[in-house]
Amino acid sequence: MSRIGKQSLNIPKQVEVKINESSIFVKGPKGELTQIIPDSLEIIKKDDNTLQVLCKSENRLSRALHGLIRSLVSNMLIGVSQGFNKVLDLKGVGYRASVDKGVLNLTVGYTHPVKIAPPPGIKISVDGNTTVKVEGVDKEKVGLIAQQIRFVRPPEPYKGKGIMYRGEIIQRKVGKSSK
């Protein structure tokens, strides 16, 4: 039995949970999310503010999915009540970002600006031309869009230029040495 899967989940205030046989629906002040539940698992409400994920069978697949589904439901509860965000910093001469009609425009040393359109439910904002903030309800989508933005110009180890997550430490390398 999964150590993570057997932990119970507390439902925050202002969050509404509906459980069907094959899915769970979570609605809160920030938005709403749904998740499909595999047939080998079951989600039950213990009382008004506690959820429990249970295994119907003890085969290898259901044990593997037990902790995963519990973590996904936990992320759903946090997302609809608080939301998720990732902050990226642009470092380099002339590197800047702007938002035009919801589309992120990145000028990071290429001959053309790179445009990234976020999916529905994801909001991108720019502070001071060099800080990009990605916000949303779904943790997976927020992380995916942040990764796509970082992939445009990943940080390089010699000068430290590029797009990096806030708080990320880049191991610097020494350049060529003369004889």
Number of H helices, E strands in the chain: 2, 13
Mean pLDDT for all residues in the chain: 92
| pLDDT given for residue 1 in this prediction | 60
Summarised one tens digit per residue, pLDDT across range 80-128 is 999 999 999 999 999 999 999 999 999 999 999 999 999 999 999 999 9
- Tell me the pLDDT band of 24, cut-offs 50, 70 and 90: very high
The helix/strand/coil state of 134 is: strand
Q: Provide the whole-model pTM.
A: 0.88
Number of other CB atoms surrounding residue 98 within 10 Å: 13
Domain 9-81 and domain 84-165 have a common topology: yes
The full set of domain ranges for the chain reads: 9-81, 84-165
- CA distance from start to end of the chain: 61
CATH class of the domain at 84-165: alpha beta
The yes-or-no verdict on residue 48 having pLDDT over 90 is no
Q: Dihedrals φ, ψ of 171, to 5°?
A: -70, 120
Domain range 9-81, CATH architecture:
Alpha-Beta Complex (3.90)
- Contact indicator for 151, 144 with CB cutoff of 8 Å: no
Residues in CB range of 155: below 8 A, 6 or more apart = 91, 161, 162, 163, 164, 168, 170
What is the DSSP secondary-structure string of 63-94? HHHHHHHHHHHHHHHHHHHT-EEEEEEEESTT
**What is the rounded distance in angstroms from the CA atom of residue 51 to the CA atom of residue 40?**
17
Q: What is the pLDDT of residues 152-163, one digit of tens each?
A: 999 999 998 999
